[in-house]
Amino acid sequence: MGEIAGEYETIVVGAGIMGSCTAYQIAKRGKSVLLLEQYDFLHHRGSSHGESRTIRETYAEEYYAAMMDEAFSLWEEAQQESGYRVHIKTNQLDIGSVQDRSLQSVIAVCRKLGIPHEVLNTEQASLRYKVLNLPKDWIAVVTNRGGILRASKAVAMFQSLALKNGATLRDNARVMKITNGWKLSDGLDGVLVCTNRGSVLGRKCVIAAGAWAQKLAKEIADIELPVQPVNTPIAYWRIEEGLDSFSPEKGFPTFASYGDPYLYGTPSWEYPGLLKVSISGGNPCDPDKRTFVPDLDVLRKKLSPWLAEGFRGHIMSENPVVAEACMCSMSPDEDFILDFLPLTKTSLSRDKSPILIACGFSGHGFKMGPLVGRIMADLALKGEAHGIPLQYFSIERFLKSTRGNVKDYENKFDII
């Protein structure tokens, strides 16, 4: 295991889905890039590991729904280049009360953007999906672009593609310090990244460190980003033996239920005879001091009654058969941060900053990993990213403006 040294066009800190996709995008453009990970590659301490994530284009926010078109294309492109599949395609099913404002916004966005969709009443939904039992005043929105993303396999895919395109990958390399103003071999300023395995220079540095990005922003620029890591439960429930109605081969979709609780799930695919259904949100945590223990009482109280009623008694376990803890990093408005990091908290100009940050993905970013990688590569190499409404992802919305005002965002953490 060699020491870390040398000089690169870009150094990417964090080898989860966002950092791995960013390194791949930079490498495929023929630029030198170093991808650093503080733990082993594909470790289970962050936000990108596990059997699955869902992918969908149904969003209440028009800009996210519009961005998903490119995200789907980039997933397919990477699969074609790698030669194996990480996206198991299904329909997407969004259900909830006909009066739910978010679900009505989803329908409005689908209509505006021309996303093919069907709106089913309770009876129609039950005819389409025999195992489903919805309340009388609920509706179901069906779209044809959804599915399961094999999470750890997807991260490995982008790391292998980055390596294939010339990237350098180093794990067990904990970043100790990042400073700007160091001279590169061409005499221009760059960034010095110091790790426990050595120091390295880069023209730009992209921080994609998930729940640790907040700590790095504080250490580098003394900036307090309001990004809260939460310990979130992932649960699998036993279904009736021999029942195949929950399988993707039989047309069962990835799904989300709007309301209290907001829950989401995948068809029975990862573990035979088990259905993944989990709650959005979690309990605040420190990424370096997590318990890695899911809250089983919450799962029983919030999910068990819903599952028993909503799936017509086909869920055979009151408790989850498998329960795991994952972690996501919530921003107050649940939008991403994709921006240049100001060099100090008193100098908010980002124009000359060689350090970029991607964080605050709020539990819904994995599906956009390839697109976030494209955006961060564009920002690092060209200083701009066309076709993306970056105003929604600006770091300035959480910092003091030049007039000294602070934007006050309602805390929308969905804490269990």
Confidence band (pLDDT; 50, 70, 90) for 347?
A: low
Regarding whether 307 and 292 lie in a shared domain, the answer is yes
Q: Check if the beta carbon of residue 270 is closer than 8 Å to that of residue 52.
A: yes
Give dist(CA 143, CA 149) in Å, integer.
17
Residue 240, by phi and psi: left (phi above 0), alpha (psi -120 to 50) or beta? Answer: beta
Confidence band (pLDDT; 50, 70, 90) for 413?
A: very low
Regarding whether 235 and 202 lie in a shared domain, the answer is no
404 domain-assigned? no
Regarding whether 319 and 234 lie in a shared domain, the answer is yes
- What is the number of structural domains in the chain? 2
Summarize the confidence of residues 345-374 as an average pLDDT.
Answer: 87
Domain's final residue, options 267, 296, 328: 328
Tokens of 333: 């408005």
63 domain-assigned? no
DSSP 306-375: HHHHHTTT-B--SS-SEEEEEEEEE-TTS--EEEEPPSSSS----TT--EEEEE--TT--GGGHHHHHHH
2 domain-assigned? no
* CA distances, 114 to each of 109, 117, 265 (Å): 8, 9, 25
What's the pLDDT tens digit per position in 110-167? 999 999 999 999 999 999 999 999 999 999 999 999 999 999 999 999 999 999 999 9
Nearest partner of 358 among 5, 105, 25, judged by Cα: 25
Q: What pLDDT, on a 0 to 100 scale, did the predictor assign at position 239?
A: 97
Regarding whether 240 and 388 lie in a shared domain, the answer is no
Burial class (CB in 10 A: 0-12, 13-18, 19+), 55: buried
Q: What pLDDT, on a 0 to 100 scale, did the predictor assign at position 351?
A: 63
The residue type of 210 is G
235-272 exposure pattern, b = at least 16 Cβ within 10 A, e = fewer:
bbbbbbeebebbbbeeebbbbbbbbebebbbbbbbbee
415 domain-assigned? no
233 domain-assigned? yes
The residue type of 126 is S
Q: What pLDDT, on a 0 to 100 scale, did the predictor assign at position 15?
A: 98
Q: What pLDDT, on a 0 to 100 scale, did the predictor assign at position 263?
A: 94
Regarding whether 273 and 312 lie in a shared domain, the answer is yes
pTM: 0.94
Regarding whether 322 and 184 lie in a shared domain, the answer is no
Query: At 150, is the secondary structure helix, strand, or coil?
Result: coil
Regarding whether 301 and 162 lie in a shared domain, the answer is no
Q: What pLDDT, on a 0 to 100 scale, did the predictor assign at position 297?
A: 87
Regarding whether 194 and 167 lie in a shared domain, the answer is yes
Mean pLDDT over the full length of the chain = 93
66 domain-assigned? no
Regarding whether 251 and 378 lie in a shared domain, the answer is no
Give dist(CA 180, CA 189) in Å, integer.
7
Give dist(CA 254, CA 248) in Å, integer.
9
Q: Where are the alpha helices (DSSP H) in 15-61?
A: 17-28
Regarding whether 393 and 351 lie in a shared domain, the answer is yes
Query: What stretch of H or E contains 170?
Result: strand 168-170
Q: What pLDDT, on a 0 to 100 scale, did the predictor assign at position 343?
A: 81
Residues 6+ apart with CB under 8 A from 164: none
Regarding whether 247 and 352 lie in a shared domain, the answer is no
Q: What pLDDT, on a 0 to 100 scale, did the predictor assign at position 352?
A: 73
CATH assignment at residue 171:
3.50.50.60
Torsion of the alpha carbons at 85, 87, 90 and 94, rounded to the nearest 10: 170
Q: What pLDDT, on a 0 to 100 scale, did the predictor assign at position 400?
A: 58
What's the pLDDT tens digit per position in 175-213? 999 999 999 999 999 999 999 999 999 999 999 999 999
Burial class (CB in 10 A: 0-12, 13-18, 19+), 304: middle
Query: What domain range is 21 assigned to?
Result: 7-48+152-227+332-398
Regarding whether 160 and 132 lie in a shared domain, the answer is no
**φ and ψ at 82, to 5 degrees?**
-80, -30
CATH assignment at residue 319:
3.30.9.10
What's the pLDDT tens digit per position in 248-307? 999 999 999 998 889 999 999 999 999 999 998 889 999 999 989 998 888 888 899 999
Q: Where are the alpha helices (DSSP H) in 29-132?
A: 62-82, 101-113, 122-128
